[in-house]
Amino acid sequence: RMWLKILDFENDRVEYKREKFDLGVLAEKTIVEWEKSATERGLKISFENDGHFPYNIFGDPEWIREVIINLVDNALKMTEKGFIKLKVEKLGVEKVQLSVSDSGVGISVDTMKHLFQKLEKGEEGWKKDVYGTGMGLYLSKKIIEEGHNGTIWAESKGENKGAIFFVKLDAV
């Protein structure tokens, strides 16, 4: 399924059904789907916001949901103990930011350089023998940057120090 999506992106066959929606509501509904899986693994998974409702953006909720799923799924794969936190906040009146943070394996400086490239699992993913195509972050970058004029990036203090993935979109 992932490969078909990538082919659609690379052949400019992606359609976005744009509408105004609340990113906070979508994120909170999406994280609920992961609670059982996280809890079974002994992880604390949570959702929070900064209380500045609503978090309205103009975009395609199905594609944005795909990005949230990719980020949370990666956090689950890379975190053996500790937490995963999904957060939505407003940055002034013009931007809405979503972040997924974890206490997982972190990201090395070398991996960070090419993290959002096609087929990139990062050395941390290979060390953990993580199941995945290495396409989720590549697809997420296309959805956010090309499809929604937003930005997506990651930060980590290094290996075994967790990671935070950020998505910044225009507020409406």
pLDDT band at 126 (very low <50, low <70, confident <90, very high): very low
User: How many Cβ atoms sit within 10 Å of the Cβ of residue 41?
Assistant: 12
Rounded to whole angstroms, the Cα distance separating 84 from 77 reads: 11
Angle, vertex CA 122, rays to CA 128 and CA 89, nearest 5: 100
Q: Give the tens place of pLDDT for each residue, 54-109.
A: 999 999 999 999 999 999 999 999 999 999 999 999 999 999 999 999 999 999 88
Q: Which two tokens stand for residue 64?
A: 């944005």
Q: Tell me which DSSP letter residue 93 carries.
A: T
Residue 125: per-residue pLDDT:
47
Q: How many residues does the chain have?
A: 172
Residue 120: pLDDT over 70:
no
Q: Is 1 helix (H, G, I), strand (E, B) or coil?
A: coil
Q: Residue 145 above 60 pLDDT?
A: yes
Question: Is this model's pTM higher than 0.75 or not?
Answer: yes
Q: Supply the mean pLDDT for the chain.
A: 89
* Phi-psi label, residue 113: left if phi above 0, alpha if psi -120 to 50, beta otherwise: alpha
What span, in angstroms and rounded, lies between the C-alpha atoms of 75 and 170?
25
Interval 21-51: pLDDT, tens: 999 999 999 999 999 999 999 999 999 999 9
Distance of CA 138 to the CA centre of its chain: 11
